[in-house]
């Protein structure tokens, strides 16, 4: 098991195991451990200053629609991609997103009409909003067998100036300027036949953008779906190797995991610690943060999968603690097997705000860790 990152440092000495039976019952009976004890949080109020950064993430399922399909005609794929673009363009008020993360993108595949889907969605967004997007493609695998050709991966659509960009696979991190990093694929593989059969290469896009006088690192990824140990290893690599402590960071994509409260209900993945690794360190899950501030006991409003009737919030946006999520909403409908997620962030204005946000995050993640440790599957 990958150890959860050493976070919540201010509370590291607290008793988080709750071995007393009564305390354990109290913790495990709490369906919303992200809610703190205080009655109100001043940061929950809408701030007067402008929102700072708008991002969206969408798993587009290669334009094949909401159901299982090995092939769709070009016209149907284009209809699906146009619907996705319309959903992204209409995400909330205040204009088009600054950055859009796309997962399961075909860059020219027979099964989906040979369309460069990243460029297609970017062009549709420009036609709708008048905003031009640069495209950064992160191919993760291709198949050149005649009649079955596929080019596939992730993409970032960016409307802000790009300072630097890189793409790499988790087992080739040197392409992202990280020589010597431990590869995620080095983790023990204990996920059975299904995990071995369905495993595919996974990668990361890293784009540094300029927003006025600020630099922001944007990370786009799509984590392993079926091999839990590989997914946890990939999450650990993201947290330990891709975060610059002196720079705001946003991580977007289909993480194929959910918070611990919901993980217990996913029988194939009941011991998954991906959320505990990623969202209790230097990054905060926008949905969990907003639910905590609003004292919202359910995360159901932000479920993205399956698209027809979403139950699981597999698509995440996480941000560094100098960014405060002011709006989180699910977007789209049945043009893919996922729906998308849109997040609007506000820049925290001063050191006192950032310190308060960090303190709150540490207390929230300590409660999440309590829940995960006390109520998770035994013997994991």
CATH T-level topology, domain 52-375? Deoxyribonuclease I; Chain A (3.60.10)
Q: Tell which residue, 107, 162, 125, 51, has the closest CA to residue 331.
A: 125
Tell me what pLDDT residue 70 has.
84
Q: How confident is the model at residue 83 (pLDDT cuts 50, 70, 90)?
A: very high
Q: Tell which residue, 323, 321, 317, has the closest CA to residue 346.
A: 323
Whether 214 shows a pLDDT value over 70: the answer reads yes
Tell me what pLDDT residue 67 has.
84
Q: How confident is the model at residue 26 (pLDDT cuts 50, 70, 90)?
A: low
Tell me what pLDDT residue 109 has.
95
Contact 344, 319 (CB under 8 A): no
Whether 22 shows a pLDDT value over 50: the answer reads no
3-state DSSP: the chain helix, strand, coil percent, rounded to 5? Answer: 35, 25, 40
Q: What is the mean pLDDT of the chain?
A: 85
Domain range annotation of the chain: 52-375
Tell me what pLDDT residue 51 has.
56
pLDDT in tens, 252-295: 999 999 998 888 788 778 889 999 999 988 899 999 999 999 99
Q: Mean of the pLDDT values across residues 31-35?
A: 87
* Share above pLDDT 90 across residues of the chain, in percent, rounded to a whole number: 65
Sign, Cα dihedral of 164, 339, 202, 287: positive
pLDDT in tens, 92-126: 677 789 999 999 999 999 999 999 999 999 999 99
Whether 84 shows a pLDDT value over 90: the answer reads yes
């Amino acid at each position: 098991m990958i150890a959860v990152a050493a976070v919540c440092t201010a509370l590291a000495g607290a008793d988080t195991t709750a071995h007393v039976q009564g305390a354990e019952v109290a913790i495990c009976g709490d369906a919303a451990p992200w809610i703190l004890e205080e009655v109100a949080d001043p940061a929950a109020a809408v701030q007067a200053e402008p929102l700072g950064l708008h991002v969206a993430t969408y798993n587009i399922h290669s334009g094949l629609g909401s159901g299982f399909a090995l092939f769709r005609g070009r016209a149907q794929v284009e209809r699906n991609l146009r619907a996705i673009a319309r959903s992204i363009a209409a995400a909330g008020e205040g204009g088009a997103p600054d950055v859009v993360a796309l997962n399961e993108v075909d860059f020219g595949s027979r099964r989906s009409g040979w369309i460069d889907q990243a460029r297609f969605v970017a062009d549709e967004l420009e036609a709708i909003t008048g905003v031009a997007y640069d495209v950064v493609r992160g191919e993760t695998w291709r198949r050149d067998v005649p009649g079955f050709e596929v080019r596939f991966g992730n993409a970032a659509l960016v409307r802000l100036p790009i300072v630097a960009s890189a793409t790499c696979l988790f087992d080739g991190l040197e392409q992202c300027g990280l020589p010597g990093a431990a590869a995620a694929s080095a983790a023990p593989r204990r996920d059975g036949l299904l995990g071995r059969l369905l495993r595919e290469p996974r990668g990361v896009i890293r784009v540094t953008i300029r927003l006025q006088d600020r630099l922001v690192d944007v990370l786009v990824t799509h984590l392993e779906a079926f091999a839990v140990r590989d997914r946890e290893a990939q999450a650990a690599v993201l947290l330990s190797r891709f975060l610059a402590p002196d720079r705001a960071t946003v991580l977007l994509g289909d993480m194929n995991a959910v918070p611990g409260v919901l993980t217990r209900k996913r029988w194939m993945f009941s011991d998954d610690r991906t959320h505990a690794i990623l969202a209790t360190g230097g990054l905060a899950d926008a949905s969990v943060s907003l639910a905590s501030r609003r004292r919202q006991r359910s995360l159901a409003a932000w479920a993205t999968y399956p698209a027809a009737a979403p139950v699981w919030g597999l698509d995440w946006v996480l941000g560094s603690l100098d960014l405060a999520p002011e709006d989180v909403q699910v977007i789209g409908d049945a043009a893919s097997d996922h729906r998308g997620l849109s997040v609007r962030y506000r820049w925290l204005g001063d050191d006192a705000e950032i310190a308060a946000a960090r303190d709150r995050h540490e207390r929230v993640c300590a409660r999440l860790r309590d829940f995960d440790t006390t109520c998770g599957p035994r013997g994991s």
